[in-house]
Amino acid sequence: MQYRTLGRTGVQVSSLALGAMNFGRIGRTTQDEATAIVDAALEGGINVIDTADVYSAGESEELVGKAIAGRRDDIVLATKANMPMSDEPNHQGSSRRWLVTALDDSLRRLGVDHVDLYQIHRWDPNTSDEETLSTLTDLQRAGKIRYFGSSTFPAYRIVQAQWAAREHHLSRYVTEQPSYSILQRGIETHVLPVTEQYGLGVLVWSPLASGWLSGAIREGREVTTSRSTFMPDRFDLSIPANRARLEAVEQLAKVADEAGLTMIQLALGFVTAHPGVTSALIGPRTPDHLHAQLAAADTVLSADVLDAIDAIVAPGTDLAPHEKHDTPPALLDPSLRRR
């Protein structure tokens, strides 16, 4: 396992981090299975565990908390808030009113008195940067969080938040957590140049592109991944974007074979090769999934392999741009672009 400095914090983190979204109902993962995954991850050198309050409505945090009991100090523990936790309109967002409550709820579920990294799950257009940053700064000063970061923010919002922190003399986001894979390279165009400019640590999610790069999805095979059961549109091969992904996967498989690598090694080695990326979040649903992904921990891709990947999916290209999570609201809601 390689270790890297998380932005400018001085904290050393593993190049692979354990994402706990599959813990609980989403991944049908029991406590015993979650604990086994955490045990194996720590044994394999991973020292970062990332979860969120919204994952299985808090169940993921509860499973993580029980799994790390007695060894909290050896783990860089991260969670997130902002996504709806109920039908109540104020049980979501990035307001002071909600974040203070959401953090207390997360700490209770995790069974800890602080988290190392508290992340705003999505940009909230209804809340000012000053409101959110002042709240996070107060929670940091109270000792409930050590650092805070953003997740899936558009590049211009990352910049705006940095300037708001400076203008109002507040602590700033020190990390960003964007989606990034060989098949979704759009962050190379705007987000990664910005995070590098501001010295942010970057924890990328979905490096296996929701299973497309796991090796399980190939031409002529029935798609039976867990993700395909509740997101069928993302794997429907009658959709042009999905056909394009499958065609890229077939070409990438040849590159991996010629390099003596698994598809997982190729995919994780690619994202961790970018100088702007600190860690890649892996989200195993079983211990077997984890071990297959840990095998990529020391993978270093040669320049020839990286060039071959560039020839298949051009730098800065998203093969499924409609699946982006950082699209400006005005592109999705016509009323926001008309007077």
Helices then strands, each counted (H, E), the chain: 12, 10
pLDDT computed for residue 32 by the predictor: 96
pLDDT the model gives residue 228: 64
Asked if 55 is an active-site residue, the reply is: yes
Q: Which residue bears the tokens 């600190």? A: 278
**Residue 36 is inside which H or E element, if any?**
helix 31-43
Q: Which of 55, 118, 173, 180 is catalytic?
A: 55
Q: In a structure prediction context, what are the per-residue pLDDT tens digits for the chain, which is 339 residues long?
A: 999 999 999 999 999 999 999 999 988 999 999 999 999 999 999 999 999 999 999 999 999 999 999 999 999 999 999 999 999 999 999 999 999 999 999 999 999 999 999 999 999 999 999 999 999 999 999 999 999 999 999 999 999 999 999 999 999 999 999 999 999 999 999 999 999 999 999 999 999 999 999 988 888 777 767 676 667 788 888 888 899 999 999 999 999 999 999 999 999 999 999 999 999 999 999 999 999 999 999 999 999 999 999 999 999 999 998 888 888 888 878 998 999
- The backbone torsions φ and ψ at residue 83, rounded to the nearest 5 degrees and listed phi first, read -75, 155
pLDDT at residue 128, as a whole number: 98
Phi, psi of 226 (to 5 degrees): -60, -40
Q: What is the pTM of this model?
A: 0.94
Query: What is residue 19's three-state secondary structure?
Result: strand
Integer Rg of the chain from CA: 19
CA nearest 245: which of 283, 206, 277, 276? 206
